[in-house]
Amino acid sequence: MGWFGNRKRALILVWAAAALLGLAAAAAAQAPQRGGTFTLPISDDPPMWPIQGGIYNILVNKLIYDTLVRYHPETLEPVGGLAERWEVSEDGLAYTFHLRQGVKWHDGEPFDAEDVAFTFQVWMNPEVPYYLRANVSGVDRVEVLDPYTVRVHMKNPVASFPVLLGYNMSILPKHRLEHLSAAQLANPVEFLRNPIGTGPFKFGQKVPGSMVRLVANEEYWDGAPYLDAFVFRVVPDVDTQVAQVQAGDLDMAIIEPYHLDAVRNVPGLRIEEAPQVNHFYIMLNHANPIFADRAVRQALSYALDRQSIIDGLMLGMAQPATGPISPLISWAYTADVVQYHYDPEKAERLLDEAGWLRGPDGIRQKDGRRLSFTIDVDPHPIRQGIALVAQENWRRIGAEVNIALYEYNVILQNARSQPPKYDANPNWLVTPPDPDISTYYASGSPGNTYAYANPEVDRLLELGRATVNQEERARIYHEIQRILAEDAAVLYLYYPSEIRLVNDRVQGLAPVGYRDGLAWAHKIWKQ
Binding footprint of another protein on the chain (CB under 8 A): 44-45, 47, 49, 52-54, 126, 129-135, 137, 183, 186-187, 189, 192, 207-211, 233-237, 239-240, 243-244, 246-249, 407, 409-410, 412-414, 416, 429-430, 439, 446-447
State the nearest-atom distance from the C-beta of 89 to another protein, in Å.
26
Our CB check for another protein shows the closer of 133 and 294 to be 133
Our CB check for another protein shows the closer of 294 and 421 to be 421
The beta strand positions in 124-163, using DSSP E, are 139-146, 149-154
Our CB check for another protein shows the closer of 109 and 462 to be 462
State the nearest-atom distance from the C-beta of 320 to another protein, in Å.
23
Burial of 22 (0-12, 13-18, 19+ CB in 10 A): exposed
Dist CA 467 CA 461 (whole Å)? 10
Our CB check for another protein shows the closer of 236 and 312 to be 236
State the nearest-atom distance from the C-beta of 52 to another protein, in Å.
7
Our CB check for another protein shows the closer of 259 and 523 to be 259
State the nearest-atom distance from the C-beta of 421 to another protein, in Å.
10
434 touches 329 (CB < 8 A): yes
Our CB check for another protein shows the closer of 429 and 461 to be 429
Our CB check for another protein shows the closer of 170 and 393 to be 170
Residue 187 vs residues 61, 180, 190, 199: alpha-carbon distances, Å: 15, 10, 9, 20
- Residue 269 sits at the vertex; the CA angle it makes with 266 and 274, to the nearest 5 degrees, is 120
- Closest listed residue to residue 115, CA positions, set 186, 59, 41, 198: 198
State the nearest-atom distance from the C-beta of 498 to another protein, in Å.
18
DSSP, res 443: T
DSSP, res 109: P
Residue 147 vs residues 7, 81, 151: alpha-carbon distances, Å: 71, 17, 12
Our CB check for another protein shows the closer of 193 and 369 to be 193
State the nearest-atom distance from the C-beta of 444 to another protein, in Å.
10
State the nearest-atom distance from the C-beta of 272 to another protein, in Å.
20
- Closest listed residue to residue 321, CA positions, set 489, 84, 492, 174: 492
Residue 82 vs residues 124, 149, 192, 199: alpha-carbon distances, Å: 20, 11, 22, 10
Of how many residues is the chain composed? 527
Dist CA 258 CA 317 (whole Å)? 11
State the nearest-atom distance from the C-beta of 256 to another protein, in Å.
15
Residue 2 vs residues 5, 6, 7, 12, 16: alpha-carbon distances, Å: 6, 7, 9, 16, 21
Our CB check for another protein shows the closer of 88 and 234 to be 234
Q: How many CB atoms lie within 10 A of CB 98?
A: 17
State the nearest-atom distance from the C-beta of 238 to another protein, in Å.
11
